[in-house]
A and B are shown apart, each in its own frame.
Chain A
Amino acid sequence: MSAATTAPAVTGELPRSARRQALAAFMRDRMAVVGVVVLLLAVIVTVLAPLISPYDPTEGDDDNILVPPFSPGHILGTDTQGRDMLARILFGARLAFPEAIIPVAVAGIIGLILGMIGGYYHRTVGEAVMRVLDVLFAIPMVLLAIAIAAALGSGLPTVVLSMSIVITPYIARVVSTTTAQLRSATFVEAARVSGFGDGRIFWREILPHVIPAVVVYGTTNMGAMVVFAAGFGFLGLGAQPPTPDWGAMIADGMHSLDSAPWVSTVPGIAIVIIALAFNYVGDGLRVALDPRLRTRL
């Protein structure tokens, strides 16, 4: 308890050197650095997809159906309609990244607000907020998201909206736990005694200490979000065909699994690489942003 409340205070007093220390700690984590490099490469490739993609991702080729990987002209093979797998993977990433990042960002902001209210006014309004969020915890997360998406109808906006709804309670809980601890910290009490209003305390005293927790939580779970978003595509609730979506591509390959296993396998590998990279970066950030973990290692 005392460590949890004093440690962030130290960071607050020495912002510059703390930042440098955090960066140094992050760079020492080899896998985290590899993760950052992989993600940067993936983002560059994704942005450049229309320029570097060898084929149109939606155009089939009847003469080249189910070409196996490592064939000349189709390094990752082609799918049931003769579409180039590499092109579809590249364009699929243009969906996969926003589908993972936007919900976390939206839920991050809403969760921050709800969580700070929940943790700070924990005897009054906050209690009510957290009780409502508890209900959302009681429903399996994936099931709730899928049910909302199914009711609203498929498509990218639906996926983003339903994911944002179900992640918000998790972020709010992280924030409210941290806020509740900070509430009784000496520097927050000092601010209160000095006559600062709640708004100023939230903005100047609590927010700077809560944001790292949200960033770490968001990054660590970003990998799971890529997988989560692929789940919508797999069930046919994501972007509609012929738009390339990694999850939908896996579902596509289900029916030709015996003759052409690569159609399902390749997009799965893409998902695993991106998810692993996010996991390693998240772990690295957690250690780098938490001075206690840093000294222990």
Chain B
Amino acid sequence: MLAYTAQRVLSIIPTLIGVSLVTFGLLHLVPGGPALAMLGMAASDPKAVAAVTKELGLDRSLPEQYWIWLKRAVTGNFGTSTEFHVPVTALLFPKLEHTLILTAGSLFYAVVLGLMVGITTALYHRSLYDRLAMLLTLIGASAPVFWIGLLLIYLFAIRLGWLPALGMASPLGPPTVLGVLKHLILPAFANSIISLAVIARIVRSGMMEALVQPYILAARARGLPRWRQVVVHAFRNVLPDAINITGLQVGFLFGGALFVEVVFGWPGLGYLIYSSIQARDYVTLQAAVLIVSAAFIFVNLVADLARMALDPREARS
């Protein structure tokens, strides 16, 4: 276990270096090159271009440029946003927190509803409920998340007026925990749908397999109540698979928040990425991609280690 943990933790170093190379390369894809991308509108001033060229070593070789960029990035210097005229770092970190809140909310839905749907459809499998639930999860997983988000807004915010449509907190007064939770309900659900469907399907097939095993028959023969057969005997054998698949979903929920944030005006990294694309603010875009990818790697690492800790069988293999 310890050896695996150490190996797994160390394995992210080459990945992080690779990711930094890819993000570094992004600015070189911009027509006009990095100097233009760094300056935005100010690129019409040759003096400014000369200054940036000198500062970033743009007249030197690519490896040297990468080294200069990396040194700046590691110290948190991602440059100045061409759109908001503030250091990019100051923009990023509050947004990261908001995206993590959204991710946590989505994970809650995906796990709770995914388990409920998966277990109940396995129990009543081939019933009308099972067919309907499976069709709905398939449609939900096949539809664009931004479209689902708009449907939810139309139904629950515009038609029924039950929930707020946009933002993270009420614009009036200071933000409250309850207010944020209320604003979280719709976007977190929209973001969770694909993962919810994946978890439900895995749990359903696992439960169906477990429920016909001899140990269930034995439990029944001993006169145990049905819920004990289902929860303690069958579900326990599905749990490792469920944890495994959930771990994989955490990263997806985090990475997939972009569209949901745009639709619901959730002020996270995804929304920041969207606005920097609209404004051609490549400096902010680059830093946001790097931060999201780094966070994605860490989230996956934590999920992976948690899975190992919870399922000793995995750790041994």
Contact = CB atoms under 8 A, between A and B. Distances in A.
A134 B255 contact: no
Among B27, B144, B154, B282, max chain A CB count under 10 A is at B144
Contact of B22 (A136, A268, A276): A136
Contacts of A132: 18
A152 to B, nearest CB: 6
Contacts of B27: 151
A153 B285 CA distance: 13
A125 to B, nearest CB: 17
B30 interface: yes
A231 B15 contact: no
Nearest to A132: B18
A143 B15 contact: no
A279 B138 contact: yes
A153 B292 CA distance: 21
A139 B138 contact: no
A60 interface: no
Interface in B13-40: 14-15, 18-19, 21-23, 26-27, 29-31, 37
B273 A268 contact: no
Contact of A257 (B138, B143, B150, B251): B150
Interface in A208-262: 223-224, 227, 230-231, 234-237, 247, 250-251, 253-254, 257-258, 261
Nearest to A279: B142
Interface size class for chain B? 35 or more
A129 to B, nearest CB: 13
Interface string B243-262: 00000000110111011001
B144 A247 contact: yes
Contacts of B21: 135
Contacts of A159: none
Contacts of A144: 22, 289
A153 to B, nearest CB: 6
Nearest to B26: A151
Nearest to B286: A147
Nearest to B254: A140
Contact of A134 (B18, B138, B252, B263): B18
A265 interface: yes
A27 B280 CA distance: 50
Given A147-B26, A236-B278, A265-B151, A153 B143 contact: no
B31 A153 contact: yes
B121 to A, nearest CB: 18
Given A139-B22, A146-B258, A147-B285, A276 B142 contact: yes
Nearest to A261: B154
Contact of A234 (B158, B251, B259, B296): B259
B73 to A, nearest CB: 15
Contacts of B138: 276, 279
B181 interface: no
Nearest to B17: A135
B143 A275 contact: yes
Contact of A140 (B14, B23, B274, B296): B296
A50 to B, nearest CB: 27
B277 interface: yes
B139 interface: yes
Contacts of B277: 146, 150, 235-237
A223 B252 CA distance: 18
B22 A135 contact: yes
A72 B254 CA distance: 45
Contacts of A142: 255-256, 258
Interface in B24-68: 26-27, 29-31, 37
Nearest to A135: B18
Interface in B153-169: 153-154, 158
Contacts of A188: none
Contact of B146 (A135, A148, A224, A250): A250
A234 B144 contact: yes
B158 A272 contact: no
Contact of A148 (B26, B147, B296, B300): B26
A168 to B, nearest CB: 14
Contacts of A138: 15, 18-19, 293, 296-297, 300
A212 B277 CA distance: 38
Given A141-B255, A142-B256, A235-B274, 17 more contacts: A134-B18, A135-B21, A139-B19, A147-B23, A148-B26, A150-B277, A150-B285, A151-B37, A223-B142, A227-B143, A230-B144, A247-B144, A258-B158, A265-B150, A272-B147, A275-B142, A276-B138
Interface of A: 131-132, 134-136, 138-144, 146-148, 150-153, 223-224, 227, 230-231, 234-237, 247, 250-251, 253-254, 257-258, 261, 264-265, 267-268, 271-272, 275-276, 279
7 contacts: A138-B296, A143-B292, A151-B26, A151-B29, A230-B144, A247-B144, A272-B142
